[in-house]
Structure 1
Protein backbone atom coordinates (compact mmCIF):
# COMPACT_ATOMS: atom_id res chain seq x y z
CA UNK A 1 0.00 0.00 0.00
CA UNK A 2 1.28 3.46 -0.84
CA UNK A 3 1.44 6.02 1.92
CA UNK A 4 1.06 9.53 0.67
CA UNK A 5 1.91 12.63 2.58
CA UNK A 6 -1.35 14.50 2.84
CA UNK A 7 -0.66 18.20 2.37
CA UNK A 8 -3.23 20.33 4.09
CA UNK A 9 -4.62 22.54 1.37
CA UNK A 10 -5.49 25.83 2.96
CA UNK A 11 -8.71 27.61 2.05
CA UNK A 12 -10.37 24.39 0.87
CA UNK A 13 -13.67 23.70 2.62
CA UNK A 14 -14.21 20.45 4.51
CA UNK A 15 -16.77 19.35 1.88
CA UNK A 16 -16.58 20.33 -1.78
CA UNK A 17 -17.42 18.97 -5.21
CA UNK A 18 -15.11 17.36 -7.76
CA UNK A 19 -15.91 16.25 -11.31
CA UNK A 20 -13.84 13.71 -13.21
CA UNK A 21 -14.87 14.75 -16.71
CA UNK A 22 -11.79 15.18 -18.90
CA UNK A 23 -9.33 13.73 -16.38
CA UNK A 24 -7.64 10.40 -15.80
CA UNK A 25 -7.87 8.37 -12.62
CA UNK A 26 -4.22 9.14 -11.78
CA UNK A 27 -4.81 12.87 -12.28
CA UNK A 28 -7.95 12.74 -10.15
CA UNK A 29 -6.06 11.04 -7.32
CA UNK A 30 -3.24 13.59 -7.57
CA UNK A 31 -5.80 16.38 -7.38
CA UNK A 32 -7.50 14.79 -4.37
CA UNK A 33 -4.17 14.47 -2.58
CA UNK A 34 -3.33 18.08 -3.34
CA UNK A 35 -6.61 19.10 -1.76
CA UNK A 36 -6.02 16.96 1.32
CA UNK A 37 -9.03 14.72 0.69
CA UNK A 38 -9.60 11.91 3.19
CA UNK A 39 -12.95 10.68 1.82
CA UNK A 40 -14.57 10.57 -1.59
CA UNK A 41 -18.36 10.50 -1.46
CA UNK A 42 -19.59 9.29 -4.83
CA UNK A 43 -22.91 11.06 -5.40
CA UNK A 44 -23.69 9.45 -8.74
CA UNK A 45 -26.97 7.55 -8.71
CA UNK A 46 -25.29 4.70 -10.59
CA UNK A 47 -21.51 4.66 -10.10
CA UNK A 48 -20.61 3.26 -13.50
CA UNK A 49 -18.52 4.90 -16.16
CA UNK A 50 -17.04 4.17 -19.55
CA UNK A 51 -14.00 6.13 -18.39
CA UNK A 52 -11.31 3.67 -17.23
CA UNK A 53 -11.11 3.33 -13.47
CA UNK A 54 -14.11 5.50 -12.66
CA UNK A 55 -16.64 2.75 -11.97
CA UNK A 56 -17.37 1.96 -8.33
CA UNK A 57 -15.19 -1.09 -7.64
CA UNK A 58 -12.09 0.02 -9.55
CA UNK A 59 -12.40 3.53 -8.17
CA UNK A 60 -12.79 2.23 -4.62
CA UNK A 61 -9.69 0.05 -5.00
CA UNK A 62 -7.57 2.83 -6.50
CA UNK A 63 -8.62 5.27 -3.79
CA UNK A 64 -7.92 2.73 -1.05
CA UNK A 65 -4.45 2.24 -2.51
CA UNK A 66 -4.04 6.03 -2.26
CA UNK A 67 -5.23 6.10 1.38
CA UNK A 68 -8.54 7.76 0.52
CA UNK A 69 -11.77 6.22 1.75
CA UNK A 70 -14.57 5.74 -0.81
CA UNK A 71 -18.26 5.68 -0.09
CA UNK A 72 -21.17 5.60 -2.49
CA UNK A 73 -24.12 7.73 -1.40
CA UNK A 74 -26.75 6.55 -3.86
CA UNK A 75 -29.47 8.45 -2.03
CA UNK A 76 -27.80 11.72 -3.14
CA UNK A 77 -27.78 10.71 -6.81
CA UNK A 78 -29.59 12.75 -9.43
CA UNK A 79 -32.00 10.81 -11.68
CA UNK A 80 -30.99 10.65 -15.34
CA UNK A 81 -34.08 12.52 -16.51
CA UNK A 82 -33.29 15.43 -14.17
CA UNK A 83 -29.65 15.90 -15.19
CA UNK A 84 -30.04 17.99 -18.36
CA UNK A 85 -31.76 20.81 -16.47
CA UNK A 86 -28.67 21.48 -14.37
CA UNK A 87 -26.74 22.48 -17.49
CA UNK A 88 -29.37 24.98 -18.65
CA UNK A 89 -29.89 28.45 -17.25
CA UNK A 90 -33.22 29.87 -16.21
CA UNK A 91 -36.45 27.93 -15.72
CA UNK A 92 -35.01 24.56 -16.75
CA UNK A 93 -32.30 24.80 -14.12
CA UNK A 94 -34.77 25.93 -11.48
CA UNK A 95 -37.05 23.01 -12.28
CA UNK A 96 -34.11 20.60 -11.95
CA UNK A 97 -33.13 22.19 -8.63
CA UNK A 98 -36.71 21.94 -7.36
CA UNK A 99 -36.89 18.26 -8.31
CA UNK A 100 -33.55 17.55 -6.69
CA UNK A 101 -34.51 19.49 -3.56
CA UNK A 102 -37.41 17.07 -3.07
CA UNK A 103 -34.92 14.19 -3.34
CA UNK A 104 -32.77 15.79 -0.64
CA UNK A 105 -35.83 15.98 1.63
CA UNK A 106 -36.14 12.17 1.72
CA UNK A 107 -35.07 10.41 4.93
CA UNK A 108 -32.32 8.39 3.21
CA UNK A 109 -30.84 11.55 1.68
CA UNK A 110 -31.03 13.31 5.05
CA UNK A 111 -29.10 10.42 6.62
CA UNK A 112 -26.44 10.72 3.88
CA UNK A 113 -26.16 14.48 4.49
CA UNK A 114 -25.68 13.79 8.20
CA UNK A 115 -22.96 11.26 7.35
CA UNK A 116 -21.15 13.86 5.22
CA UNK A 117 -21.23 16.38 8.05
CA UNK A 118 -19.82 13.79 10.45
CA UNK A 119 -16.98 12.90 8.07
CA UNK A 120 -16.16 16.58 7.57
CA UNK A 121 -15.58 17.02 11.30
CA UNK A 122 -12.36 15.01 11.10
CA UNK A 123 -11.37 15.13 7.43
CA UNK A 124 -11.93 16.63 4.03
CA UNK A 125 -14.65 15.19 1.80
CA UNK A 126 -14.89 15.44 -1.99
CA UNK A 127 -18.32 14.90 -3.51
CA UNK A 128 -17.58 13.05 -6.74
CA UNK A 129 -19.64 13.27 -9.89
CA UNK A 130 -18.88 13.37 -13.62
CA UNK A 131 -19.36 17.02 -14.58
CA UNK A 132 -16.25 19.18 -14.63
CA UNK A 133 -18.33 22.37 -14.52
CA UNK A 134 -19.62 22.73 -10.95
CA UNK A 135 -22.48 24.95 -12.13
CA UNK A 136 -23.83 22.05 -14.21
CA UNK A 137 -23.72 19.47 -11.41
CA UNK A 138 -26.15 18.51 -8.69
CA UNK A 139 -23.38 18.42 -6.10
CA UNK A 140 -23.78 22.21 -5.85
CA UNK A 141 -27.30 21.62 -4.55
CA UNK A 142 -25.89 19.18 -1.97
CA UNK A 143 -23.36 21.77 -0.84
CA UNK A 144 -26.05 24.42 -0.61
CA UNK A 145 -28.22 22.14 1.51
CA UNK A 146 -25.30 21.35 3.82
CA UNK A 147 -24.59 25.08 4.18
CA UNK A 148 -28.19 25.61 5.34
CA UNK A 149 -27.39 23.40 8.32
Structure 2
Protein backbone atom coordinates (compact mmCIF):
# COMPACT_ATOMS: atom_id res chain seq x y z
CA UNK A 1 0.00 0.00 0.00
CA UNK A 2 1.27 3.49 -0.88
CA UNK A 3 2.29 5.64 2.08
CA UNK A 4 0.25 8.77 2.81
CA UNK A 5 1.46 12.31 2.26
CA UNK A 6 -0.69 14.67 4.29
CA UNK A 7 -1.41 18.36 3.83
CA UNK A 8 -3.09 20.80 6.20
CA UNK A 9 -4.02 24.48 6.25
CA UNK A 10 -4.24 26.43 9.48
CA UNK A 11 -6.74 29.06 8.33
CA UNK A 12 -9.44 29.36 10.99
CA UNK A 13 -7.66 26.92 13.32
CA UNK A 14 -6.01 27.14 16.70
CA UNK A 15 -2.54 25.72 17.27
CA UNK A 16 -4.08 23.10 19.60
CA UNK A 17 -6.57 21.97 16.93
CA UNK A 18 -3.78 21.75 14.35
CA UNK A 19 -1.60 19.64 16.64
CA UNK A 20 -4.57 17.40 17.51
CA UNK A 21 -5.30 16.76 13.82
CA UNK A 22 -1.66 15.93 13.15
CA UNK A 23 -1.48 13.56 16.12
CA UNK A 24 -4.76 11.87 15.12
CA UNK A 25 -3.29 11.17 11.67
CA UNK A 26 -0.04 9.86 13.17
CA UNK A 27 2.05 12.63 11.59
CA UNK A 28 5.64 12.62 12.84
CA UNK A 29 7.02 15.55 10.79
CA UNK A 30 5.40 18.80 9.65
CA UNK A 31 7.00 20.49 6.65
CA UNK A 32 6.12 24.18 6.46
CA UNK A 33 5.90 25.13 2.77
CA UNK A 34 5.28 28.84 3.33
CA UNK A 35 8.03 30.91 1.76
CA UNK A 36 7.85 33.24 4.76
CA UNK A 37 6.88 31.28 7.88
CA UNK A 38 5.35 34.30 9.57
CA UNK A 39 1.76 34.69 10.63
CA UNK A 40 -0.42 37.33 12.21
CA UNK A 41 -2.30 34.46 13.85
CA UNK A 42 -0.92 33.69 17.30
CA UNK A 43 0.92 30.39 17.43
CA UNK A 44 1.54 29.98 13.69
CA UNK A 45 4.81 31.86 13.20
CA UNK A 46 7.79 29.56 12.76
CA UNK A 47 9.24 29.80 16.27
CA UNK A 48 5.94 29.36 18.15
CA UNK A 49 4.70 26.63 15.82
CA UNK A 50 7.92 24.62 15.95
CA UNK A 51 7.91 24.84 19.77
CA UNK A 52 4.29 23.60 19.98
CA UNK A 53 5.05 20.76 17.60
CA UNK A 54 8.20 19.79 19.49
CA UNK A 55 6.19 19.64 22.72
CA UNK A 56 3.79 17.26 20.94
CA UNK A 57 6.61 15.05 19.64
CA UNK A 58 6.28 16.22 16.03
CA UNK A 59 9.35 17.38 14.11
CA UNK A 60 9.24 20.69 12.21
CA UNK A 61 11.01 21.63 8.98
CA UNK A 62 10.74 24.78 6.91
CA UNK A 63 11.08 24.23 3.15
CA UNK A 64 11.42 27.80 1.87
CA UNK A 65 12.20 26.57 -1.66
CA UNK A 66 8.69 25.09 -1.81
CA UNK A 67 6.97 28.35 -0.86
CA UNK A 68 4.99 30.60 -3.15
CA UNK A 69 6.89 33.72 -4.27
CA UNK A 70 5.43 37.16 -3.46
CA UNK A 71 3.70 37.57 -6.82
CA UNK A 72 2.05 34.16 -6.40
CA UNK A 73 0.85 35.05 -2.91
CA UNK A 74 -0.61 38.30 -4.27
CA UNK A 75 -2.45 36.39 -7.00
CA UNK A 76 -3.81 33.90 -4.46
CA UNK A 77 -4.93 36.67 -2.11
CA UNK A 78 -6.77 38.32 -5.03
CA UNK A 79 -8.55 35.03 -5.82
CA UNK A 80 -6.57 34.39 -9.01
CA UNK A 81 -5.81 30.74 -8.27
CA UNK A 82 -4.85 29.83 -11.85
CA UNK A 83 -2.32 32.67 -11.97
CA UNK A 84 -0.88 31.59 -8.61
CA UNK A 85 -0.56 28.05 -9.94
CA UNK A 86 1.31 29.23 -13.07
CA UNK A 87 3.70 31.31 -10.97
CA UNK A 88 4.27 28.45 -8.55
CA UNK A 89 4.80 25.91 -11.37
CA UNK A 90 7.70 28.06 -12.57
CA UNK A 91 9.13 28.03 -9.02
CA UNK A 92 8.78 24.22 -8.81
CA UNK A 93 10.73 23.78 -12.04
CA UNK A 94 13.81 25.41 -10.49
CA UNK A 95 16.86 23.54 -9.25
CA UNK A 96 16.40 24.51 -5.58
CA UNK A 97 12.74 23.43 -5.56
CA UNK A 98 13.56 20.15 -7.30
CA UNK A 99 16.17 19.38 -4.63
CA UNK A 100 13.65 20.24 -1.91
CA UNK A 101 11.05 17.96 -3.55
CA UNK A 102 13.55 15.08 -3.60
CA UNK A 103 14.35 15.63 0.08
CA UNK A 104 10.64 15.79 0.91
CA UNK A 105 9.99 12.53 -0.95
CA UNK A 106 12.74 10.85 1.06
CA UNK A 107 11.28 12.11 4.32
CA UNK A 108 7.78 10.97 3.31
CA UNK A 109 9.06 7.47 2.52
CA UNK A 110 10.68 7.27 5.97
CA UNK A 111 7.94 8.77 8.15
CA UNK A 112 4.45 10.29 8.16
CA UNK A 113 4.84 13.80 6.76
CA UNK A 114 2.33 16.63 6.53
CA UNK A 115 2.73 19.80 4.45
CA UNK A 116 1.52 23.04 6.06
CA UNK A 117 0.33 26.33 4.61
CA UNK A 118 -2.36 28.86 5.51
CA UNK A 119 -5.20 28.21 3.05
CA UNK A 120 -7.89 25.88 4.42
CA UNK A 121 -8.97 24.67 0.97
CA UNK A 122 -6.18 22.55 -0.56
CA UNK A 123 -7.59 23.13 -4.05
CA UNK A 124 -6.75 26.83 -3.70
CA UNK A 125 -3.35 26.30 -2.10
CA UNK A 126 0.07 25.59 -3.54
CA UNK A 127 0.67 22.83 -0.96
CA UNK A 128 -1.56 20.59 -3.09
CA UNK A 129 0.79 21.22 -6.03
CA UNK A 130 3.79 20.33 -3.86
CA UNK A 131 2.08 17.11 -2.74
CA UNK A 132 1.17 16.24 -6.34
CA UNK A 133 4.76 16.85 -7.48
CA UNK A 134 6.07 14.49 -4.80
CA UNK A 135 3.39 11.90 -5.57
CA UNK A 136 4.24 12.06 -9.28
CA UNK A 137 7.78 10.87 -8.57
CA UNK A 138 6.84 8.31 -5.93
CA UNK A 139 3.76 6.37 -4.99
CA UNK A 140 2.04 8.34 -2.27
CA UNK A 141 -1.61 8.72 -1.38
CA UNK A 142 -2.32 12.41 -0.80
CA UNK A 143 -4.61 13.02 2.16
CA UNK A 144 -5.76 16.53 3.06
CA UNK A 145 -6.26 17.09 6.75
CA UNK A 146 -8.26 19.84 8.36
CA UNK A 147 -7.98 20.82 12.01
CA UNK A 148 -11.53 19.48 12.35
CA UNK A 149 -10.76 16.15 10.61
CA UNK A 150 -9.79 14.68 7.26
CA UNK A 151 -11.06 16.13 3.99
CA UNK A 152 -11.94 13.98 0.95
CA UNK A 153 -8.87 12.79 -0.95
CA UNK A 154 -7.79 14.57 -4.10
Give the TM interval when normalised to the shorter protein: 0.7 to 0.9
What's 1:107 paired with?
95
RCO higher in structure (CA 8 A, sep ≥6)? 2
Q: CA deviation at 1:12?
A: 9.5
| Residue from 122, 132, 141 that aligns with 2:129 | 141
What is the distance in 1 between the residues matched to 2:135 and 2:55?
A: 31
Secondary structure, aligned partner of 1:16: strand
Q: TM-score, normalised by structure 1?
A: 0.83
Q: CA deviation at 1:96?
A: 2.3
Q: TM-score, normalised by structure 2?
A: 0.81
| Residue from 81, 92, 98 that aligns with 1:93 | 81
| Residue from 10, 23, 37 that aligns with 1:20 | 10
Q: How many residues align?
A: 137
Q: Which runs of 5 or more structure 2 residues have no equivalent in the other structure?
A: 138-154
What's 1:79 paired with?
69
1:46-87 deviation line (CA, Å, top 9, x unaligned): 001111111001111110111100000000010232135447
Q: What do you get for the CA RMSD once the two structures are aligned?
A: 2.1
Structure of higher CA gyration radius: 1
1:6-55 deviation line (CA, Å, top 9, x unaligned): xxxxx995212100000100110000000110110000010011111110
Q: 1:87 touches 1:136 (CA, 8 Å); kept in 2?
A: no
Secondary structure, aligned partner of 2:110: coil
Q: Which runs of 5 or more structure 1 residues have no equivalent in the other structure?
A: 1-10
Distance 1:20 1:122, change over 3 A: same
Q: CA deviation at 1:124?
A: 1.0
What's 1:132 paired with?
120
What's 1:4 paired with?
none
Pair 1:65 & 2:55 matched: yes
